[in-house]
Structure 1
């Protein structure tokens, strides 16, 4: 038997194993997805549209704070800390200084995590800052010697452009950084379901 939430399907055994939904200051289904991912569940996008939904202006996801972007980033910060991703790290380097990067910084800073700064593709003066934190800009991807200075930090990819995010992740992998250990995507473009299923 399977269960369906507003945007994903999963086996009842997975739901039961993870204790079902729980009450948090963020969306219960998103909370469940983060717990399932940590437990090793394989998540992917189905190539076809399976459900047609009507998005009314008064639906909860449009009006309740727990379904808004800041709450989702609170969940990400909560679970990254709970899962120990910042253990023995001197702080965070955030790749991307747009809305996602700034929200990421806010969510971690309020939990006492040291924000080392931002890296992005906006060159500026040497003392450039974004929200009071240093910001280093490079026209292309940052050079290896720059990234090596952050080997003991957790790098969060908060890059909205999927091609830019993929290129940055590939550079980090090429330099020996390990995804979901040394760097994490806070926006993730899930692979197609065919990656996991026939």
Structure 2
């Protein structure tokens, strides 16, 4: 077999209960020119015997002592040979045209660094209402403009739905350990260097939800660590050349975000809020002003920026409407963060 078009990078740890389903979905892909690189991260169940008996010449297995997801991902990435890397987890299912459609989309525009697809969470009895809302939010983000507008809200691409160019991913150093989610970190790094995002606008991945998911059990996926990631990349990028920082939201999200901005050396210059019991007071020693006073305070700075730091989607949309009424442009005068 020559160099494949796609390398599917699939780490697994004790995934025997679902792995066959995942592998079968890859065996059924409409494109044949692929390799499946499975990294067995020291499984102690029947994963090893299942892989040993799996009948697909495109399968390559790398067996490691148990070290965790990041080492497994980076070891697998180093072994991949394909032009493109498609991520996949051992408990998900790729629809038969997923890889073919994603390759076509990546090849259609050299500016695109990451391609995802719409996802469907299953089984329905295990999908909580909050996760269903997150899935619906993700599935609304299809274009580069959609994804980058929301990139500081939450992770806009499901990691096992993603495909990237192997050479570029390796040049970026693969996956990094920073104490926050490795996939979100990767999307923020692609965003920081100006690469584009896109999604196949159809459901092409069945995304299994269960209580043992890393997003539920790994401390790196806590709200606090997501905010650390956001603050890190905001400070290094959009805030780097600004001399006036306004944070709209003196509630929990604004307080948490401002803590990490202060630690990073860029405290807010003003907080903005609509609550009468907060306006005129201070938070972390910083003045809280009302909406009606924003424009006069804004004029005091040469290159100000506002971060709308509210968790409620409804409140966020109201803020966007107010700022749009002032003629402000998202991504220029302000960004939304949650």
Question: For structure 1, which segment, 122-131 or 42-51, has the greater mean C-alpha deviation from structure 2 after superposition?
Answer: 42-51
> Rg larger in 1 or in 2?
2
Aligned to 1:127: 280
Cα distance in 2 for residues equivalent to 1:25 and 1:107: 14
1:111-190 equivalences in 2 (<5 Å): 111-124=264-277, 127-137=280-290, 142-143=291-292, 146-150=294-298, 152=301, 153-187=304-338
Aligned to 1:55: 210
Cα distance in 1 for residues equivalent to 2:226 and 2:280: 31
Cα distance in 1 for residues equivalent to 2:228 and 2:320: 23
- 2:272 and 2:294 in contact (8 A); partners too: no
Measured against aligned partners, the alpha-carbon deviations of 1:75-115 in whole angstroms (never above 9, x if no partner) come to: 1111112125231413x211112221111111101112122
Aligned to 2:235: 81
Cα distance in 2 for residues equivalent to 1:155 and 1:45: 32
- 1:118 and 1:135 in contact (8 A); partners too: yes
1:96-111 equivalences in 2 (<5 Å): 96-111=249-264
CA drift at 1:37: 2.6
Question: TM-score under structure 1 normalisation?
Answer: 0.74
- 2:242 and 2:305 in contact (8 A); partners too: no
Measured against aligned partners, the alpha-carbon deviations of 1:148-195 in whole angstroms (never above 9, x if no partner) come to: 4225332111122223212322332342433223211113xxxxxxxx
Cα distance in 2 for residues equivalent to 1:32 and 1:51: 22
Q: Classify the secondary structure of the residue corresponding to 1:160.
A: coil
Question: For structure 1, which segment, 14-23 or 31-40, has the greater mean C-alpha deviation from structure 2 after superposition?
Answer: 14-23
- 1:5 and 1:29 in contact (8 A); partners too: no
Aligned to 1:196: none
Residue 72 in 1 paired to residue 240 in 2?
Answer: no
**Which of these residues, 159, 179, 183, is aligned with residue 25 of structure 1?**
179
Greater helix share, 1 or 2?
2
**Aligned residues, how many?**
180
CA drift at 1:74: 1.1
CA drift at 1:36: 2.2
Aligned to 2:162: 10
Unpaired stretches in structure 1, ≥5 consecutive residues: 188-198
Greater strand share, 1 or 2?
2
Cα distance in 2 for residues equivalent to 1:44 and 1:167: 27
Question: TM-score under structure 2 normalisation?
Answer: 0.46
Unpaired stretches in structure 2, ≥5 consecutive residues: 1-5, 7-84, 90-157
Cα distance in 1 for residues equivalent to 2:172 and 2:310: 30
